[in-house]
């Protein structure tokens, strides 16, 4: 049985501290073009399982001058939306909510407005209620982060929510290295590669945004260890919480054990 308590704990820790896939060779150039376009469209949104989206507040980055999408691809339609702070963010839907056909929200940053009597937040949230084909209502919460920097192609367009079995297995960014340093965790001795792979899985599952400062810290830590520093020295140099590193190692090992999600690039 999957260690759900570990998964929930890891997600909570990462949230508090702050996909290409292979295709078979097509028979024709036109098929290749069609598949390439489909993969680019899929990669343009972060894929989040509906189970993860219901269990955690999912971060959504909104970049200046761009729209960010929250796309429900799980058969649910939007019944209600509440934006906590409307002073710098506006939203629209792909169909009127009352039509029963709305399944996508587009969020945009605007110049700050002053609404008398309304409070503001550094990280506003978006509350969305949906109804599935069986008439069951579900509620999702998204933490909205305004970003000024230029987004990466795969991170600047928003998220798509799908059933877990519709999300391709996550491809990790690097293979295991011989004699790699390790760090103690709930699952034993994850290596630095496990930590790197756990970070990529955490980003893909929405535990943390790629632009979150903790992500940069972890990558700096990995670079220092790769350059020859000890785990302890690198952690002190970056001033990173060891519990974050342990949690990321656990994510990667848990994925290997239960999901088979780690495959070499």
**pLDDT over 60 (residue 127):** yes
Of the candidates 6, 47, 50, 2, the residue with the CA atom closest to the CA atom of residue 249: 6
What is the rounded average pLDDT of the residues 65-90?
Answer: 96
Tokens found for residue 123: 């990280």
How far is CA 252 from its chain centroid? 15
Q: How far is CA 156 from CA 28, 80, 107, 134, 152, in A?
A: 32, 25, 12, 33, 6
Supply the mean pLDDT for the chain. Answer: 75
**pLDDT digit string (tens) for 254-263?**
766 554 433 3
Please identify which residue in the block is written with the tokens 């079995």: 165
List pLDDT tens digits, range 81-126: 999 999 999 999 999 999 999 999 999 999 999 988 888 998 999 9
| Structural domains in the chain plus CATH codes | 4-19+170-259 (no CATH), 45-166 (2.60.40.1860)
- Reported confidence tier of residue 46, pLDDT bands at 50, 70, 90: confident
The structure tokens 């969305």 sit at 128
Q: Is a pLDDT exceeding 70 seen at residue 154?
A: no
Percent of the chain with pLDDT over 70: 69
Q: Which of 148-152, 155-159, 177-181 has the lowest mean pLDDT?
A: 177-181
Instruction: Write down the residue that tokens 């785990």 correspond to.
Output: 231
Distance in angstroms (rounded) separating the CA atoms of residues 244 and 157: 27
**Does 87 or 152 have the greater pLDDT score?**
87
What is the three-class DSSP state of 148? coil
How far apart (Å, rounded) are the C-alpha atoms in residues 8 and 97? 32
**Alpha helices of the chain — where are they, by DSSP H?**
4-16, 29-43, 50-55, 192-204, 213-226, 231-238, 242-254
Band (pLDDT 50/70/90 cuts) for residue 74 is very high
């Amino acid at each position: 049985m999957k260690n759900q308590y570990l998964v929930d704990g890891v997600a909570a820790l990462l949230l508090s501290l702050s996909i290409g896939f292979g295709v078979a060779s097509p028979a024709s150039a036109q098929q290749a073009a069609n598949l390439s376009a489909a993969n680019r469209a899929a990669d343009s949104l972060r894929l989040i399982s509906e189970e993860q989206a219901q269990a955690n507040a999912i971060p959504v980055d909104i970049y200046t001058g761009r729209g960010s999408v929250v796309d429900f691809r799980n058969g649910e339609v939007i019944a209600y939306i509440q934006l906590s702070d409307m002073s710098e963010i506006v939203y629209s839907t792909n169909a009127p909510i009352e039509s029963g056909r709305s399944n996508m929200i587009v969020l945009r940053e605007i110049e700050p407005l002053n609404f008398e009597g309304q409070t503001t937040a550094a990280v506003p949230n978006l509350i969305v209620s949906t109804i599935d084909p069986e008439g069951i209502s579900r509620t999702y919460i998204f933490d909205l982060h305004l970003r000024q920097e230029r987004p990466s192609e795969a991170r600047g367009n928003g998220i798509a929510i799908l059933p877990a079995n519709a999300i391709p297995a996550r491809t990790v960014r690097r293979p295991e290295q011989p004699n790699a340093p390790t760090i103690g965790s709930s699952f034993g001795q994850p290596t630095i590669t496990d930590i790197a792979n756990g970070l990529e899985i955490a980003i893909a599952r929405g535990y943390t945004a790629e632009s979150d400062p903790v992500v940069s810290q972890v990558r700096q830590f990995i670079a220092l260890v790769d350059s020859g520093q000890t785990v302890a020295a690198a952690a002190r140099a970056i001033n990173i919480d060891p519990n974050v590193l342990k949690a990321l190692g656990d994510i990667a090992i848990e994925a290997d054990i239960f999901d088979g999600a780690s495959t070499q690039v």
